[in-house]
Structure 1
Amino acid sequence: MTHRLEKLSNILSRTSTAALYLAGIGLVLMTAFVAWQVFGRYVLNRSPSWTEPAAVMLMSWFIFLGAAVGVRENFHLGFDVLLYVLPEGSKAILRTASDVIVAAFGFGMVWYGCQLVSLTWASTLPSLGLPGGFDYLPVVAGGALILLFSLERMVQRFAGVGIDRDLNLEEVPDLNTVQEA
């Protein structure tokens, strides 16, 4: 069981890394598209019509892919203050509850995102010439990854794999000693 879990974790780690790289590439491309639009508008006096919708679509991709990576790396929002005052046994329960809520949210993104894709697929994005459903594909992909990564966290927790990182207040450097150095 542990070998299979480790294999799955490696695959999901590579998936997360690929999503992060794709999000980074999307951010760079979006910046280039916006720069081209500004150059076209103010230098060439002819603004390209495709740059703004393409930049917004890329922004959707890197936001949702980045959010999914944040779920896998445990950077999503949470109430860590409670974890400092509760006994050790209840921390895993709270973290699991958080993962269940995040998984439900990811499922909702997939479910309703697929409905949006199917409802808008027949329309066409005029400046890009793509089906309208392309606007909502990042919601579906990000939701699927969020669901998958939160399920991975729950399975690892139930298998006893140490995935939960506690913030150790004793490791936070004292500002007085940092300033003296």
Structure 2
Amino acid sequence: MKTVPTTLVKTGRALSWLSSLSLWLAGGGLVVMTAIVAWQVFCRYVLNDSPSWTEPGAVMLMSWFIFLGAAVGVRENYHLGFDVLLYVVPKGGKKWLRMISDLVALAFGIGMIWYGIELVRLTWDTVLPSLQISGGWDYVPLVAGGVLIGLFALERIVLRLAGEPIDDVLDEMPPAEVAAELDTAEIKV
């Protein structure tokens, strides 16, 4: 039986913790954003005085939980992939299609970091009037999401190259259409 190098185990634990933290922060951000929007609606229609900070604050929070959630999706293998091809390709080919998908996710994360930093740099000296903070903060979630997407995609690539069976569970799953029919059949019985 093959043993996993200690470095990979420790890194995996750290990334698992980071993924869980990201998911909790995204969920918390969704709750806070909902409360902010509810407050805005209450102020607008009941008090007839809508605060100016609620809409940009809610949008900024939405950026955070979207990018954090997307990164968790990459780690959990819920990102876009070659699903249609996976149904017809032999098991050995599936590994390479998933590898290509993870490489694309890694490249996308790097692009998010590169262009996100440029956007932060270009807008840092502006001020968002309603929040009284730098305009660069609008793009910080893009950079943070890119870092996490890159880390999580790189983790999947390294594990696959190390020979870890990260795709075995996916290969055992039936296609989505078959799984949906199986679920419906179980309900009917």
Cα distance in 2, alignment partners of residues 69 and 168 from structure 1: 21
Which residue type is aligned with residue 3 of structure 1?
T
Name the counterpart of 1:157.
Answer: 160
- What is the aligned partner in structure 2 of residue 71 from structure 1? 74
| Structure 2 counterpart of 1:110 | 113
CA distance in structure 2 between the partners assigned to 1:177 and 1:51 by the alignment: 46
The equivalent residue for 2:24 is 21
Secondary structure at the aligned position of 1:24 is classed as helix
> How far has the Cα of 1:158 moved from its partner?
0.6
Match of residue 166 from structure 1:
171
> How big is the shift at 1:163?
1.2
Distance 2:25 2:172 in 1: 30
Q: 1:80 aligns with which of 77, 83, 103?
A: 83
* Aligned counterparts of 1:82 and 1:117: Cα–Cα separation in 2: 38
Q: Given the superposition, is the C-alpha separation of residues 41 and 117 from structure 1 closer, same or farther in structure 2, using an over 3 Å criterion?
A: same
Number of aligned residue pairs: 180
Counterpart residue identity of residue 45, structure 2: Y
Please identify, of 116-125 and 82-91, the stretch whose mean Cα deviation from structure 2 is larger.
82-91
Q: Does 1:95 align with 2:93?
A: no
Question: Over residues 148-180 of structure 1, what are the superposed CA-to-partner deviations in whole Å (9 max), with x where a residue is unaligned?
Answer: 100000000011112112253298326445302
Q: Which amino acid aligns with 1:116?
A: L
Structure 1 pair 97–38 and aligned structure 2 pair: CA distance change class (3 A):
same
1:169 aligned partner, one-letter code: P
Q: SS where residue 98 of structure 1 aligns?
A: helix
Q: Partners of 2:20 and 2:183 in 1: how far apart?
A: 34
Distance 1:74 1:45, change over 3 A: same
Equivalent in the alignment of 1:145 = 148
Superposed CA offset, 1:33-84 (max 9, x none) = 0011011111111110000000000000000000000000000111212112
Runs of 4+ in structure 1 deviating by more than 6 angstroms, as ranges, are none
Deviates more, 1:79-88 or 1:131-140: 79-88
Distance 1:36 1:83 in 2: 46
Extract unaligned runs of 5+ from structure 1. Answer: none
| SS of match in other structure, 1:154 | helix
Displacement after TM superposition at 1:27 (Å): 0.3
Q: Which amino acid aligns with 2:171?
A: D
For 2:160 and 2:14, the matched residues in 1 are separated by 18
Verify the 8 A CA contact 2:91 2:171 in the aligned structure 1: no
Aligned match of 1:178: 187
